Amino acid sequence: MAKKIKTPSLIKSAGNKVKVIAEIFGKVNSNTNELSIAHMTSPEGWVEPGQCPDFNEYTVVLRGTLKVKTKEKEYDISEGQAILVEKGEWVQYSTPYPEGASYIAVCKPAFSPDTVHRDATSSFKD
Protein backbone atom coordinates (compact mmCIF):
# COMPACT_ATOMS: atom_id res chain seq x y z
CA MET A 1 0.00 0.00 0.00
CA ALA A 2 1.30 3.45 -0.88
CA LYS A 3 2.14 5.80 1.99
CA LYS A 4 2.23 9.54 1.43
CA ILE A 5 4.67 11.48 3.61
CA LYS A 6 3.22 14.95 4.20
CA THR A 7 6.10 16.47 6.17
CA PRO A 8 9.43 15.34 7.61
CA SER A 9 10.13 15.04 11.33
CA LEU A 10 12.87 17.18 12.83
CA ILE A 11 15.39 15.05 14.73
CA LYS A 12 17.84 16.35 17.35
CA SER A 13 21.42 16.24 16.08
CA ALA A 14 24.71 15.40 17.73
CA GLY A 15 27.67 17.74 17.44
CA ASN A 16 29.09 21.04 18.51
CA LYS A 17 26.49 23.14 16.63
CA VAL A 18 22.86 22.69 15.66
CA LYS A 19 22.39 20.70 12.46
CA VAL A 20 18.89 20.37 11.00
CA ILE A 21 17.90 16.74 10.40
CA ALA A 22 14.60 16.44 8.54
CA GLU A 23 13.75 12.74 8.50
CA ILE A 24 11.50 11.86 5.58
CA PHE A 25 11.55 8.07 5.99
CA GLY A 26 12.80 6.30 9.08
CA LYS A 27 11.97 5.01 12.52
CA VAL A 28 10.48 8.33 13.69
CA ASN A 29 8.62 9.81 10.70
CA SER A 30 7.32 6.78 8.83
CA ASN A 31 7.93 3.86 11.24
CA THR A 32 10.30 2.41 8.65
CA ASN A 33 13.02 0.02 9.83
CA GLU A 34 14.38 -1.05 6.43
CA LEU A 35 15.96 2.31 5.65
CA SER A 36 15.94 5.97 6.55
CA ILE A 37 16.16 9.03 4.31
CA ALA A 38 16.87 12.45 5.76
CA HIS A 39 17.69 15.92 4.47
CA MET A 40 20.54 17.38 6.52
CA THR A 41 21.56 21.03 6.74
CA SER A 42 24.82 21.65 8.59
CA PRO A 43 26.32 25.07 9.37
CA GLU A 44 29.93 26.11 8.88
CA GLY A 45 32.10 24.69 11.65
CA TRP A 46 29.78 21.81 12.61
CA VAL A 47 31.43 18.54 13.64
CA GLU A 48 29.88 15.42 15.15
CA PRO A 49 31.44 12.65 17.20
CA GLY A 50 33.03 9.75 15.38
CA GLN A 51 30.85 6.68 15.03
CA CYS A 52 30.96 3.05 13.93
CA PRO A 53 27.37 2.36 12.81
CA ASP A 54 25.57 -0.91 12.15
CA PHE A 55 24.17 0.46 8.87
CA ASN A 56 25.42 1.51 5.43
CA GLU A 57 25.17 5.27 4.91
CA TYR A 58 24.74 6.67 1.40
CA THR A 59 25.23 10.45 1.25
CA VAL A 60 24.59 12.84 -1.66
CA VAL A 61 25.69 16.47 -1.25
CA LEU A 62 23.22 19.01 -2.66
CA ARG A 63 25.05 22.21 -1.68
CA GLY A 64 28.39 23.06 -0.07
CA THR A 65 31.01 20.53 1.02
CA LEU A 66 30.81 17.71 3.56
CA LYS A 67 34.06 16.43 5.09
CA VAL A 68 34.04 12.68 5.69
CA LYS A 69 36.87 11.27 7.78
CA THR A 70 37.55 7.54 8.07
CA LYS A 71 40.48 5.80 9.76
CA GLU A 72 42.22 5.53 6.39
CA LYS A 73 41.42 8.79 4.61
CA GLU A 74 39.61 12.15 4.59
CA TYR A 75 37.23 13.07 1.77
CA ASP A 76 35.71 16.39 0.72
CA ILE A 77 32.35 15.61 -0.87
CA SER A 78 31.08 18.61 -2.85
CA GLU A 79 27.81 19.51 -4.55
CA GLY A 80 26.70 16.72 -6.88
CA GLN A 81 29.10 14.17 -5.37
CA ALA A 82 28.29 11.22 -3.14
CA ILE A 83 29.93 8.76 -0.76
CA LEU A 84 29.08 5.35 0.70
CA VAL A 85 30.33 4.50 4.18
CA GLU A 86 29.77 0.82 4.90
CA LYS A 87 28.48 -0.51 8.20
CA GLY A 88 31.17 -1.23 10.76
CA GLU A 89 33.50 1.45 9.36
CA TRP A 90 34.51 4.26 11.73
CA VAL A 91 33.49 7.66 10.31
CA GLN A 92 33.23 11.28 11.36
CA TYR A 93 31.23 13.90 9.45
CA SER A 94 31.82 17.67 9.56
CA THR A 95 31.22 20.87 7.61
CA PRO A 96 34.31 23.05 8.21
CA TYR A 97 33.88 25.22 5.14
CA PRO A 98 32.22 28.67 4.96
CA GLU A 99 28.86 27.68 3.46
CA GLY A 100 28.32 24.49 5.45
CA ALA A 101 26.43 21.79 3.54
CA SER A 102 23.02 20.49 2.58
CA TYR A 103 22.82 16.78 1.84
CA ILE A 104 20.65 13.69 1.72
CA ALA A 105 21.60 10.72 3.90
CA VAL A 106 20.16 7.26 3.33
CA CYS A 107 20.82 4.63 5.99
CA LYS A 108 20.17 0.92 5.43
CA PRO A 109 18.86 -0.40 7.76
CA ALA A 110 17.30 2.74 9.23
CA PHE A 111 19.31 5.05 11.50
CA SER A 112 18.86 4.50 15.21
CA PRO A 113 20.66 6.03 18.21
CA ASP A 114 21.13 2.44 19.43
CA THR A 115 22.97 1.36 16.26
CA VAL A 116 25.10 4.43 15.46
CA HIS A 117 27.69 3.67 18.18
CA ARG A 118 29.10 7.16 18.73
CA ASP A 119 32.57 7.46 20.26
CA ALA A 120 32.28 7.22 24.05
CA THR A 121 35.22 9.56 24.66
CA SER A 122 33.58 12.40 22.76
CA SER A 123 32.50 15.55 24.58
CA PHE A 124 29.50 15.90 22.23
CA LYS A 125 26.03 14.87 23.31
CA ASP A 126 23.15 13.29 21.36
**Residue pLDDT, tens place only, 5-37:** 999 999 999 999 999 999 999 999 999 999 999
Q: For residue 20, is it within any domain?
A: no
Q: Domain span at residue 82? A: 43-119
Q: For residue 31, is it within any domain?
A: no
| 36-66 pLDDT, tens digit each | 999 999 999 999 999 999 999 999 999 999 9
Q: For residue 85, is it within any domain?
A: yes
What pTM value is reported for the model? 0.92
Q: For residue 55, is it within any domain?
A: yes
CATH label of the domain that carries residue 58:
2.60.120.10
CA distance 58 to 1: 26
CA distance 57 to 102: 16
Q: CB–CB of 118/50 below 8 Å?
A: yes
Q: For residue 16, is it within any domain?
A: no
Q: For residue 1, is it within any domain?
A: no
Domain count, the chain: 1
